[in-house]
Each structure stands twice: as structure tokens, then as C-alpha cells.
Structure 1
Amino acid sequence: MTQHYMRFPYLASLIACLLAFLPLLATAQTTPDSLITARYDQAPLQTILNDLEKKSPVRFYYQSQWLSDIKVTASFDRTPLPEVLRKSLEGTTLEFIQYHPYAVVIKPAGFVQPVLATKDSQGRPLNRVQIGSPQNASRAAKVTLRGRLVNAKTNEGVAGATVAVEAMKAGAMSDAEGNYEISLPVGEHLVSYRVVGLMSEERIVALYNSGKVDVTLYENAVALREVQINSERLTDQNVNSIEMGVNKLDMGVVRKMPSFMGEADVVKAVMLLPGVSSVGEGSGGFNVRGGSTDQNLVLMGGVPVYNPSHLFGFFSVFNPDAVQDVTLYRGGIPAQFGGRLSSVLDVKQKEGNKNKLTGKGALGPVTSRLVLEGPLGADKKTTFLVAGRVSYLDWFLKRLKDEELRRSSASFYDITAQVNHQFGEKDKLAIGGYFSKDAFGFTEDSLYNWQNIGASIKHTHTFSEKLVGTLSGVVSKYSFESKDELEARASSFKNGIWSVEVKPELTYYAGRHVITAGFQGTRYEFQPGILTATSEESSVNGSALPYQQSLEGAVYLSDEFTITPRLSLIAGLRFSTFWNVGPGQVYVYAPGEPKRIRTITDTLHYEAGQTIAKYSGPEPRVSLKFNITENSSIKAGYQRMRQYIHLVSSTVGISPIDFWQTSNTYIKPQVGDQYSLGYFHNLLDNALEFSVEGYYKDIQNMLDYKEGADLWLNPAVEADLLAGKGRTYGAEVLLSKKSGKVTGWTSYTYARSLIQVASDNPEEEINRGEWYSSNHDKPHTFNLVTAWQMNRRVALTSNFTYSTGRPTTAPIGHYLNEGRIIPIYGPRNQARIPDYHRLDLSLTIETNHKKDKKWEGRWNLSVNNVYGRKNAYSVFYKHERYSVPKPYKLSVVGIPLPSISYEFKF
């Protein structure tokens, strides 16, 4: 079947193409010298045109319904083609127009179509690009337009930009590298390229064969007038995209949001998205759809980050000036990602300016940062970026009234580096690195420090216009150390995790299909804990838990398939295998007895490389989208995830003394099955976007700890951990406003997270085997983010958040034992700390908007916790004789925190 058998939207472009060629019609063009010999007896006109195409180089364009019920009886003997057409159309309402010697349009008499515009929306003349020629036009139903969008200032790929052909109601979005691909019929199209913060571009593309059009996008000369949840601005993008549970954050938006102590923060912005929460200030990590913090895969330039927090969660490890964009997957997770149950936070790093040396930075009350980027060499094929950030919190602590805080110290710094080299049109190499270190001293005796180290290398090769391959290698290490410098107990405690990964991947663009296939192999090394005495006078006895090693491998395949203009799907399958390998040892416990040190009956020893435990299984994913109307759609999805490594903790957030633990003989991998359904609708010409998503997730082998568990330097940690069944479910409602002086979004999330630990042995069950709230069960969360662009230079932004207090286990009484008060606790997590709410404000003042400015500046004034809410991080209880326990809450930030920072670019 050839391209001219198309439905109505496609013909519109061809008719526009015809009228665009009207000047050619004025010249006496003739078809090639084709003499036709044929005999037709009541033959359908469409059949005749097919036969004429085979007997001549001419192609015909028409709408098939125009030809229906038209039959022709005629015979021709070496008759010129124009005469054959005239005779075949006699007695019908159709006419033919030759707009090129090799192309003829069959259309109803009098049918007209507006000519393509000659100027863009800003009055600039439109550029016209031709791919192929009419003489050799493709006979396929559709051809492919692809290319790369590049930021003119940085020469980096523009991710999340939209490529739209409004006449076709077709569109696509650029990927992380700025590449795009869109399928269109042969003909002339007006193509628009748009992204937040950059000027839109339009091209007239005369598309006769598949080809490539690269476009450079320039910065806007005025301040952003929109605060958006994501950078996707294709008309009805949220309706037409297949994915659900996916959000993109533009860094221009993040930098204008209220900040803590003047530092723009990626993770804090993510926490304002629906379905995302935290346990409170001063806690590391975040929770997605009721999951624990270790169920989130955090990637920085493809490198896994095992602790994404500075200073116990007050700041994130991401330098905002080195980040290109951020994508959060909490549903519809692509098959190329695995290893976590709840979400993937994919943070893309900038590549470096290819045109000139530039800089960016900020000065704040407790932190400062600086980024330098530019080309290396005269040929500008190599670019670099180096970013650094440092804190100076000590001076702030020294000025507080609390004596213990004045004797404390806190600091961190991080360094990010990136080098990219373009070998030619087909090969590109990217090398990145990251290092961060935190130090915290509580009084002068207890010192803590931890660090993240990461490096990556990625080679991209374009085999053809349809096939692109990448080969990546990453290394990541997280280590923690605490020191007690009091002479009598001088000691050092260390733990950490190290991983190395290789990942080859191929992406094939095949018309309505985008197929991705790859392999991922990872080696882990775990250091659960080492305690050593650091002085001869110390009373500490050294202890060391053995290192653990594991291997994880996965193959995956996914296909993004446009079935019909209304129906699309993404189907993927990932198959993963995990090995816990020696050297190591496994305790054998008495059968029928609870796992305890005293029930160990034997120890099994394994040599290096020997398999201790092995797990494997499929991880299918599917996302389906059906358009109800142009402005509304229904989406459904299912995904299975497997998590083989676990963060062992008895706390609710990431803390430094937590440690990563491999799955082994007794600690089995967590497996989650999530089902989701959503409705998406746009209002007021896409000015308002509305969505509601519901989800339900079953979890196997969800970990919790026994009553009285001691997890620190425990050689048999599995004896103090219990595996149960989990389930999370809820609904997320989002309404966002995209245009006007006042923009922003509001979201409401209803989310439940429950766990059941049942056993025949009462010692190995919790709450008598009944379902109870997990540590991250917060049923209600409400967020309101607004931005008021007061004028071209001044913007006022506010964030308000409210959430249900998290669960806690409260004492219900006490008893006396030899004069000591011993608390009696009720069922686990049956009480809640007070509800959480907070308002933050920020005022951003731009300095100037000249296009040729060599220095840009921006002041940011913000107030965190405006009305001084004393939100409870935890609740303690004071026990007194002959009275019920009295609760006292601990508030980490209980006062308004104003700050001012200055950002600059040069």
C-alpha cells in the first residue's frame, strides 16, 4: 500500500504542498513521456491509479473516500498519461492537478486548502528545508523526520523539547541528548520546536524521504513567565504521552522556588510532586507512593547515588547549576531501569558549552557554588564542565544560643566534572565524575563524615538513521565513618557500599515502533561495619563484620508502538538474575525455632566466587494510552520490579549508621507488582492541565525489624529482621496552570502503605500478624505551588505543603523494676505524630534582560517556614510514677529561616 491511501489529516498537508507549488503550475509542466496501454472494465478508479503508478514514474495523491464507488470502463493503446487521466475522470466531480512532473493530485473540483505560512509567530521569515526530491519521493505510508535540538548558548542537547506538526496533530519530544524523531506523510509540513526558557523555532520541511533536520534554539531575552511541573509543552502532551506517573522538572523553575538557606534544591522540588513525601526536616531521602527511602533509584548522570543527602537531608548532593534536567518515574518505569521498587530519579548533568568559556555561580548565607564550562581546543569538538560547592555552616552554629550547638560543627563540599568529545557525526564520548564529603561533629567528641564517589564513561555510536547504540560503564562508592574521640572510648566505625556496572544498549527507530534492547551487569561489594579502637587507652573491643559480594545481571527489551492515532502502548520485559557469592558464611538455625544467636546450630563456609544464594525472575512492564477526545485520554499500566539490595535501618529516614545489605540465603529480594489507571484532561486551550491517577501495589518480602532488634555490628542481622507482605494504594490529583502572570500547580495525594508480618511463632510476627501502617504511611498530602510574575524582572513564588503525621509506636503505660521506670509500648505504628504543614516564600529579582549582556545577576530572598510552625520530627515520652506517659515533640526547624542569595552568570 502506498502513501497516497491516507486518511484526511495527512492529505491536508499534501494539498497545502500543492498550493505552495502554485508558481510551478504557471509554467507548462508536462508529465514524463509515459504511453499507457491498458484495458479496464468497470475497474475501481483507485485500482487504475495503482496500475498507472506501476507503468509510469508518476505518483498520485488523493483521499481514498473521494474515489469510492467510481468505476471506469476504457481502453488505451500507447496513450499519453494526461489523456488517460482526463478520460478516466470524465463524468466525475474530480479533477487532477500536476504540481510536479512526477506528482499528480486527484481532488474534488473547487477543493482548496490554506497555503503554508511564510512567517513564524514572531514575524520572522520561515526557513525552508527540503529532504529528498519529488522525483524520488518515498512510496512508504510515512517517512521519518529526525534531528537534534541544541542550545545555542551551551551547545548542549535540549531535552524535553517538543516537536509539533499541528496540521497533522502529530508531535514528539526530544530525549535526554536532544534527539527527536517524528513520522509524517510525504509532503510539505510546518514544524514547530518549543521548550520552556528558549525561543521557539519553526521550519517548513519539504519531506520526500526520511532525513535529518538539526535546529538551534536561542535563549529568551525576557524572564520566564511560567512555573511548570515539567518542560513538556507540546499541545496536549500530558494527554498524548503514553507514560503515566512521570514528571519532568526544569531547572529554571527549580532555581526560582523557595529555597532552604538560599540553596536551590532538586530533591526539595521533587517532594512537591504528587505521590512524593518525606518524614520531615532533617531526614535524608524521600518516599514515593508509600515506599521506603531505599526503594528509590537515584541516578546522577547514570551513576547510582546511595546517599543523596548533605547534612542529614537539609541539602541534596546535586549542584543545581550542574544539572540539565530531572525526571521522576514513579509509574511507567522503562525496562532499562531496575533494582528498586518505588521510583527512579534520573538527574541529567550538563555537557559543557561548546562555543565559549562561561561561568555560573551563587553566594548564599551558608553555601556558595561555582561552575565553569567551555570548549577545549580550537576545533571545539571537546567540551568540559567543572562545578564546585562548599558550605561554611560553622560560623552560623557559633552564633546560636544553645551551648551544645555552638560546640558542634557541620560542613560539606562537592565537585562535579564532565568532559565530552565528538569524534565525528557518528561517535561521541562522555566522561563524568562526582565527589562529595560531609563532616558533622556533635559537641567535640562525636565526629561523623561520609562521602559519595562516582564516575561514568559513555560512548554513543550512530550506526544509521534508525539504529543508535550506547556503551556505558559506571563506578559508585559510598562510605561512612564515625569517630568517638573521648579517650576512654576512642574508636572508629566504618561501613559502605561499592558497585561497578557495564551497560550496552541499542535503540532502533522503525516507523511506528521505537525498540530498545540492552544488558546491564553490576558487581556489588558491601562493608556492613568495622569497629576499631584508635588509642591504647580505649576500652573499645574491635569488631568487624565480613565483606559481602554480589552480582546482578539483567537483559531487557521494550517497544513503544503507535497502534492507531488514538491507541499507543509501551511494552517491555526485563529479566534479572542475582547471585550472592563467596567468600562468606551462612549460619544454620535450628528447624522450627526462631532465628536467634542461641538457635544457631552450624556455620556453612563458601569459597571465593562460590554461589551462596541465587534469585531471578521476569519484570514485565506495559503502559497503554487511549485518546477519548483531542483533549482527554485514559492511561493504564502494570509493572513488576525486583529489588536485591536493602538499606537496613530501624529509623524512618536515611541516617549515617544505616548500612546496605545484600539479598542472601535468608534475606530475599523484594518484589513489587504495581497496577495504575489514570484520566488526563486539558482545559481552556491547554492553559489548565488536570489528571487523576490511581494505583495499587503488592510487595513481597518487605522488611521490618523485631522488637528490641540490635542492628549495629550484628553478625546475624537476619535474626533481627522479619519479612512480610506489603501493600500500597492511593490516588493522586493534579491541577496545573501553565500560562498567565500567575502560574503553578496544586496536588492532593491519598496514599496508604501497610505491612503484615505473620508467623506461626509469636516471636517472629508483629501486631499479632495483623496489617499495620508502615513507617511511611501518610494518608493525606496537599501541595500548592504558585508563582506570580509581577513584572519582567520580579517574581514571587510560594510553596505550601500539608501532610498527615507519620506513624509511631507510643507507650501506653509503664511498670517499676528495682526502682526504674520501664515503658510498656502499644501495637507498632498505631499512633501518629502531629500533622505537618509549612509555608515558604521566595522573591526573585532579575538584574537586566539585554541580549548581549556579559554578566547576569539575580537576587533571591526567601523565607522558609514563614509562620514558624514547630513540626514534629519525632515524639518522645516522659514517664513519671502514677501518671500516663507525657509526649514531647522534637522540632528540627521550628522558627522562620530567612535567607538571601545572589546568583550570577558570565
Structure 2
Amino acid sequence: MQTSFLKITAATAALCFSTLAMAQQNYSVSGTVKDKKNGELLIGVSVKVSEDPTINVVANEYGFYSLSLPEGNYTLIISYPGYRDFEQQIKVDQNIKLDLPLLPAETEAKAIDEVVITGIKKDKNLTSAQMGAETLSIKNIEKLPVLFGEKDVMKTIQLLPGIKSNGEGSSGFSVRGGATDQNLILLDEAPVYNASHLLGFFSTFNSDALKDASIIKGNSPAQYGGRLSSVLDVKMKDGNNKDYNINGGIGLISSRLSVEGPIQKEKSSFIVSGRRTYADLFLKTNKDYKDNKLYFYDLNLKANYQINENNRIYLSGYFGRDVLGLGDTFNTDWGNTTATLRWNSIISSKLFSNTSFIYSNYDYKISLKNDDTVFDLNSKIRDWNLKQDFTWFAGNKHSVRFGLQSIYHTLTPSSASGTTVSSFTRNPRYSWENAVYINDDYKATEKLTINYGARLSMFSVLGGDTFNTYENGVLTDSQFLEKGKFGKTYVNIEPRISANYRINEVSSVKGGYSRNTQNLHLLSNSNSGNPTDQWIGSSYTVKPEIADQISVGYSRNFNNNNYELNAEVYYKDMKNQIDFKNGAQIGFDTGSDVESELLFGKGRAYGLELIAKKKSGKLTGWISYTLSKTERKINGINNNEWYNARMDKTHDLSIVATYQLNPKWSFSGLFVYSTGNAVTFPTGKYELNGQTIFQYSNRNADRMPAYHRMDLSATYEPSSNKRFRGSWTFGIYNLYGRENAYTINFEDNPDRPGTTRAMQTSLFRWVPNITYNFKF
């Protein structure tokens, strides 16, 4: 029976493919799209056919495109934001391999064979089925005012609707009601588990080393998985394969330097980019602080080699570390290491392959010493990852992505040793996460585009430790699983679909549904996050988090697509959400199983997101606004009723503007306002053994004060020669000196015995910055 079924299936498939081949009789036009000046592959370039407006293919994230055409003469129309649009005349009478070089928009117009400058509309928001997605321009990021003058991808995405900052100066963020750990952050496909420096005031991403950054809020295609709320996909530059360049910047507390160039001209290239703060150098000028440490450094490296016209390999890495120390009494350091080895292969004119081997490691160490007292704490998470991805341009209407991913996780929970506490060591916990996926971007009609697919995820608990089972914090079972043995396995199917309908030339509507699951969870007791927050995996007690999201949107462009308005509403239902029980014991001086302090329940988030953009002219920028609600319901918390999640903020407003006064001077500014974070304040107190004990009522029933500030910056670019360019950036963070609350603590009022006073801590009032940037 089984043999007959296989024969029938094979015969049916052969018949379908042979019929398709006979009916099609088209030729393929395919190749890569590159920056003409430096050879960088460009992502998301639009390739249209003038003679058939229904044909519009987009280059994938590795710069490869493919389209099918009958025999004849055609005009290809190529466009990409920040680059000069042009038309390419072609004659199709066979399969054609055509690489397309694009000139940056600021490049002087020159005579180019078969290239004509045109003005193509920028209407991607009206044609793409992808919802809740934004691609960030690294060039625009450079001009925005930020804390300490450091251009920062993580700070910039917090100015978009639906994405909320976790605190003053923090690079941590929440998306559509999700926690910080529910964001998948990728650097050249490697997951980054702590994307911040100096407790969140800087991000791990040095913009000098970056080519592209995009964020997707929940409705991600099936090739992404493992997190509930968003994907931040950051890609490093490949390196200039035509000429050597050096660029960098010198600021008040940090400096950076990048070197890139060809290894073998137009065939291979490299980039090395480093950054370091030097606040610790100023400490050494004071004898009371000369032994203290306060700095971070990071290093980005990447190289690539073109084996032949169809095969290229890439090797990239990131190394970053934070060091904080108070003499010999206190020392802590934490950091990330990632490495990615990729092989891009053009298998045929329609099939593109990307094979990646990925390593990621995050760890922290803490050491306390006082006379004969010693205390050490450490933890880490390490991944080995294999990813195989295919892009199949099945025709002008179908772009199919399919592949698999396999990750071997090693999580070492917080382990302590020393003389002040009983030493407790934790066995590493091992797990194996696998997924297969398929996704199709389908242009059903000239007006309707559908993106649909599914992801099958599997997470297996592996042996090597004792696993306890708890119900509402009470131990019900315990078992030791030998190393190498398979324990509990969770299997989830994750369907995804979104659609875009073009109403007319200037407007469109969108809708989508997606399911995401998450098997790695971050245990944190603060909004902004700390380096010592602990990652755990799904286990016998902790189940995979699941989120179902539906969203509907409307887009409209004005004035020849120079103005853009986008609106989305969403509802997200979340299962197996995690929170600490009341009075949880989460100190470092206990070796108890942290899972015994957890409770589980459900969550919901819903809201409205608006963004209006001005995309051309001397004045550009956007206004974004989010109205939202985020709640949790967990038995054992808040009398089993719904309560505000920590990241709940009703209102969130951002106004961003950049003005190009003349070729030398540009100005930028931003204003942000948001409802204060949900917190729990004491409602009463009593005295016990001479100490004041505060009583608390409902979880997160109170609010921090509203947050708002204004930042301004100016950039001066003097005249420069062809080889050397320099610029000065002047800025001020928090222009009108708003003392925003970072924390509020309660204590007995010494001036009025028997009463309590609230003590607010504010971090930054005015922070000026000056940075000199150079490139040659």
C-alpha cells in the first residue's frame, strides 16, 4: 500500500512539473544587485518590467533577484531608497545572468552605458504584504540626536510605533506588549542575548559596521522563529572590494575606528570595526577612583571571498565586553561573542541557497571581596546553530522560502561560590531546538499580494541534570535525566499569513495572522534589564510561550509618495506567560531551584499604531503614536484577576525631524512622550524588630510619572576633497532639563516620624555631546 502511494505521488509530481515546463516557455533574468562604488550587495532592491507593470520582484537579503520573461525586448526599472533609480534595456532570447550596479544618490551623475536616470515612486508600503515592518536607513540614523552622541540602531527603533523603551537611556525595548526577551535580535544571523553596553546606555551595535537593519513586529515570515514579539535583523557591511577606506569618530566618552578594503580587488574584501569608551581614563586622574574600572569595548570583523560567479563565502564575528570594578572589592564583566560562517550559492537562475554555521555566547561574572570574604557568581548561555535556507523564484508571482534550522543550547544557570554563602554549583542544562519552514510571497493579482507559510518548531529537553515539576510553586515530582538522553519534547505548528490589497494608486489595506512560540525565557525583576538576568529553557515545569496575533492596517501616500501615512490595529493573545510569585526569593545567596518561584498564566495586548512620514525635501522625519494596553492574568497574583504588565504604557509619542539647511549644515531634533511604566508602590507599613516593613497590594497597579524630553543636534560638514571627509556633530540630550524618574524608592521620613516619603532617582538632566567624524 505504501509503495503504491509513493509511486502515485511521484507520478503526479512529475506530471505537474512537466506540464509547467511545457506551458511556461519563459527565460530567466537573474543576478545580484550591488553598490557600484564599493561592491556591497544591496538588500530589497525592486526590479520592475516597464512593459508589464504586474512584474515586480525584490532582491532577497543576499542581493539575489530572478524573474521570468518570454522572448522579446524589455526595459528593467530598478529602484532602491538612497540610490539613483535607472532603466536597463535588455533583449531576452535565452537565460540571462545580469548583475546590476547602483550608484548612491549623492554620487555625481555620470554617463553610464544603457542607464537612464528616472524618478520612480517609493511606494513599498502600498505593495508589500509584510505587516508591522520597518527598514532603518543607517545614513539617517547618523543624524539623529542620541545620548552621548552615539548613533544607535536600538535607540532609533524605539521612536517607531508599537516599540517602547524600557527606561531612561536603555537600549532594551518591548514590542506590542511583549517582554524584553521576546525580541529576536540577530547580528549576521547570530542571536544576541544581551544587546546593550553600560547597563543599557549603549547598544552592542556599532553603526559604522552595519549595512542594514530591519524590525518586524510579530507578523514575521516563517524563516524567523523562537520569539513571540519581534525580529530585529541586523546585517554587517561586507567591506569595500574596490578601494581602502578608514572612518571613525572621536566623542567625549567613546571613540570608534573602522577599516575596510579589498583582499583581492572585486573578488574579496574585509572590514574591521572597533569601539571603546574611556570613562575609566578620567577616573585615574582622581586618586580616590584611580583603581576603579568603567568601560566597554566591541569589535566587529567580516571577510568574504568569491569562489566563482555562483558561490561566495562569508565569515563574520562580533566580540564585546563590559567591565565595571570598584578597586579589588567589586568586579563584574559581561559580554557577547558571535561568529557566522555563510556559504551563498546560486544553484540555478531560480534557486538560491544560503548555508550558515553560527556560534553565539553570552556570559557574566561577578566577584565580591572584602578582607577574607569572597563571593563569585557566574552564568552563561551558548548556542551552536546550523541553518539551511533556500529561495526559489518559482515565477514572477511566487517567491518561495524554505529550509531548516537546528540549534544546540547550553544554559548554565547562576552558580555561586565563596565564603559568605554556601557554595552552590549548577549543572548546565542542554536542549535541542529544531524547525522546518516554508513561506511563499504570492502576487495573486496586480492589486493583491499574499505572504503565507508555516513553521514547525520542536524543542527537546536533554539530560544531564535533575528536573523538578512544580504546580503553583509546589514540588510534585523530580527526576534525574542522564546526559545524552531525551526528555520532554514540545512540538508546535506556527501558521503565518498576511495580505495586501492595493485599493488604488495611493492607498492599500492589509491584514494578517501569525502564531509564534518561544522556548527560551529571561527571568528579570526590572523593566530595563540587568546583565545578571537569567535565561532558562522550557522544561517539565516551564512550557513554551505561545502568541497568536491578528492585525489590520491601512496605508495612504500623498504628493507623489513624498508623504506617507500608515495605521495598524492589533490584538495579541499570549499563553504560558511567566512571572514571579509574590514574595519570590530570587537572591544570589540561595541555591534553590528558580522554577519554584515562578507562576504561569496568560496575557493579552492590543492597540493602535500610527506613523506619518515626510520622505523628501529639506525637511524630513516622522510622527509616530501608539495607544495600547498590555495585561497578564496568572493564578496566585492579584487575586487571579487581570493586572498591568510591567511594560504597559497607554500612550507613546515620538516626533523626529531632520532639516538640511545647506550642503554644510543639517539639524535634527526629537521629542518623546510616554505614560509611565506600571509599578507596584506600597500601600501600608508596619514595624518588626525595629525595621520598617512595607505592605503591597495589587501587582503593577501604580504608575511612574509620565516621561518626556527633547533632544537637538547639528552636523557641520565642511568642504572636503575626494579622499578625505570630516564632520562635526554637536548635540544636547534632554534640552529643557526634565528630571525623569528612573526609580522611586520609599523610606521613613526622618523629618516627620511615622510618615513615609518617596525618593526619586533621575539619571540625566542635560547631557551635551561633541563628536568628530572622519572618513578617507
Q: TM-score, normalised by structure 1?
A: 0.78
Structure 1 residues 399 and 627: alpha-carbon distance in aligned structure 2, compared to 1, 3 A threshold: farther
Matches within 5 A, 1:131-210: 140=24, 144-165=28-49, 168-169=52-53, 170-182=55-67, 187-208=72-93, 210=95
Tell me what 2:585 maps to: 710
Following TM superposition, by how much is the alpha carbon of 1:331 offset from its aligned partner in structure 2, in angstroms? 3.3
Q: Select which of 612, 624, 649 maps to 1:735.
A: 612
The farther-off stretch of 720-729 and 878-887 is 878-887
Tell me what 2:441 maps to: 560
Are residue 854 (structure 1) and residue 738 (structure 2) matched?
Answer: no
Measure the CA separation in 2 of the matches of 1:397 and 1:681: 54
Structure 1 residues 839 and 465: alpha-carbon distance in aligned structure 2, compared to 1, 3 A threshold: same
The alignment partner of 1:235 has SS state of coil
Measure the CA separation in 2 of the matches of 1:746 and 1:443: 46
Structure 1 residues 753 and 407: alpha-carbon distance in aligned structure 2, compared to 1, 3 A threshold: farther
Are residue 349 (structure 1) and residue 236 (structure 2) matched?
Answer: yes
The residue type equivalent to 2:767 in the other structure is L
- The one-character-per-residue Cα deviations of 1:866-892 (angstroms, maximum 9, x if unpaired) are 111111122111234765532222112
Matches within 5 A, 1:298-337: 298-337=185-224
Q: Select which of 638, 643, 646 maps to 1:767.
A: 638
Measure the CA separation in 2 of the matches of 1:679 and 1:384: 42
The farther-off stretch of 541-550 and 733-742 is 541-550
Question: 1:280–1:873: 8 Å Cα contact kept in structure 2?
Answer: yes
Question: 1:703–1:723: 8 Å Cα contact kept in structure 2?
Answer: yes
- The one-character-per-residue Cα deviations of 1:829-868 (angstroms, maximum 9, x if unpaired) are 0000001111111111122365xx1111111111111111
Q: Select which of 681, 701, 708 maps to 2:556.
A: 681
Structure 1 residues 886 and 617: alpha-carbon distance in aligned structure 2, compared to 1, 3 A threshold: same
Measure the CA separation in 2 of the matches of 1:299 and 1:594: 34
Following TM superposition, by how much is the alpha carbon of 1:332 offset from its aligned partner in structure 2, in angstroms? 2.5
The residue type equivalent to 2:618 in the other structure is K
Matches within 5 A, 1:215-614: 215-221=100-106, 234-377=121-264, 380-396=266-282, 409-441=293-325, 445-511=329-395, 512-533=397-418, 538-587=419-468, 594-596=472-474, 600=475, 603-614=478-489
Tell me what 2:771 maps to: 901
The alignment partner of 2:140 has SS state of helix
Measure the CA separation in 2 of the matches of 1:728 and 1:884: 38
Q: Select which of 664, 670, 695 maps to 1:799.
A: 670
Tell me what 2:658 maps to: 787
Percent of pairs identical after alignment?
A: 36
Question: 2:67–2:393: 8 Å Cα contact kept in structure 1?
Answer: no
Structure 1 residues 369 and 870: alpha-carbon distance in aligned structure 2, compared to 1, 3 A threshold: same
Matches within 5 A, 1:814-893: 814-848=685-719, 853-880=722-749, 883-893=754-764
- The one-character-per-residue Cα deviations of 1:99-129 (angstroms, maximum 9, x if unpaired) are xxxxxxxxxxxxxxxxxxxxxxxxxxxxxxx
- The one-character-per-residue Cα deviations of 1:600-649 (angstroms, maximum 9, x if unpaired) are 47642111122232111101100111111121111111111110010112
Tell me what 1:750 maps to: 627
- The one-character-per-residue Cα deviations of 1:717-756 (angstroms, maximum 9, x if unpaired) are 1110111100111110010011111111101011211000
Question: 1:222–1:849: 8 Å Cα contact kept in structure 2?
Answer: no
- The one-character-per-residue Cα deviations of 1:152-198 (angstroms, maximum 9, x if unpaired) are 22211122333344564453433322223445665444333333433
Structure 1 residues 806 and 588: alpha-carbon distance in aligned structure 2, compared to 1, 3 A threshold: closer
Q: How many residues align?
A: 739
Following TM superposition, by how much is the alpha carbon of 1:532 offset from its aligned partner in structure 2, in angstroms? 2.2
- The one-character-per-residue Cα deviations of 1:666-702 (angstroms, maximum 9, x if unpaired) are 0111000010110111111111111100111111011
Structure 1 residues 467 and 552: alpha-carbon distance in aligned structure 2, compared to 1, 3 A threshold: same
Measure the CA separation in 1 of the matches of 2:573 and 2:469: 30
The alignment partner of 1:261 has SS state of helix
Tell me what 1:721 maps to: 598
- The one-character-per-residue Cα deviations of 1:807-839 (angstroms, maximum 9, x if unpaired) are 000111111223322111121100000011111
The alignment partner of 2:148 has SS state of coil
- The one-character-per-residue Cα deviations of 1:46-65 (angstroms, maximum 9, x if unpaired) are xxxxxxxxxxxxxxxxxxxx
Following TM superposition, by how much is the alpha carbon of 1:558 offset from its aligned partner in structure 2, in angstroms? 0.9
The residue type equivalent to 1:869 in the other structure is R
Measure the CA separation in 1 of the matches of 2:469 and 2:583: 22
Measure the CA separation in 1 of the matches of 2:690 and 2:268: 74
**Structure 1 runs (4+) greater than 6 angstroms displaced:** 403-407
Structure 1 residues 669 and 518: alpha-carbon distance in aligned structure 2, compared to 1, 3 A threshold: same
Q: Which is higher, the Rg of structure 1 or of structure 2?
A: 1
Tell me what 1:670 maps to: 545
Measure the CA separation in 2 of the matches of 1:196 and 1:396: 42
The residue type equivalent to 1:572 in the other structure is G
The residue type equivalent to 1:506 in the other structure is F
Measure the CA separation in 2 of the matches of 1:218 and 1:779: 44
The residue type equivalent to 1:264 in the other structure is K
The alignment partner of 1:701 has SS state of strand
Structure 1 residues 141 and 690: alpha-carbon distance in aligned structure 2, compared to 1, 3 A threshold: farther
The residue type equivalent to 1:490 in the other structure is V
Following TM superposition, by how much is the alpha carbon of 1:439 offset from its aligned partner in structure 2, in angstroms? 0.6
Structure 1 residues 548 and 284: alpha-carbon distance in aligned structure 2, compared to 1, 3 A threshold: farther
Q: TM-score, normalised by structure 2?
A: 0.91
Structure 1 residues 828 and 570: alpha-carbon distance in aligned structure 2, compared to 1, 3 A threshold: same
Question: 2:502–2:509: 8 Å Cα contact kept in structure 1?
Answer: yes
Are residue 648 (structure 1) and residue 529 (structure 2) matched?
Answer: no
Measure the CA separation in 2 of the matches of 1:744 and 1:293: 27
The residue type equivalent to 2:654 in the other structure is N
Aligned Cα root-mean-square deviation (Å): 2.3
Question: 1:277–1:286: 8 Å Cα contact kept in structure 2?
Answer: yes
Following TM superposition, by how much is the alpha carbon of 1:217 offset from its aligned partner in structure 2, in angstroms? 1.9
Structure 2 unaligned blocks of 5 or more: 1-21, 109-118
Measure the CA separation in 1 of the matches of 2:140 and 2:58: 19
Following TM superposition, by how much is the alpha carbon of 1:215 offset from its aligned partner in structure 2, in angstroms? 1.9
Question: 2:154–2:171: 8 Å Cα contact kept in structure 1?
Answer: no
Following TM superposition, by how much is the alpha carbon of 1:500 offset from its aligned partner in structure 2, in angstroms? 0.5
Question: 2:30–2:350: 8 Å Cα contact kept in structure 1?
Answer: no
Structure 1 unaligned blocks of 5 or more: 1-137, 224-231, 759-764
Measure the CA separation in 2 of the matches of 1:724 and 1:784: 36
Are residue 636 (structure 1) and residue 511 (structure 2) matched?
Answer: yes
Following TM superposition, by how much is the alpha carbon of 1:787 offset from its aligned partner in structure 2, in angstroms? 0.6
Measure the CA separation in 2 of the matches of 1:849 and 1:167: 43
The residue type equivalent to 2:203 in the other structure is S
The alignment partner of 2:149 has SS state of coil
- The one-character-per-residue Cα deviations of 1:335-364 (angstroms, maximum 9, x if unpaired) are 111100000100011111111221111111
Measure the CA separation in 1 of the matches of 2:731 and 2:465: 53
Measure the CA separation in 2 of the matches of 1:233 and 1:669: 46
Question: 1:573–1:619: 8 Å Cα contact kept in structure 2?
Answer: yes
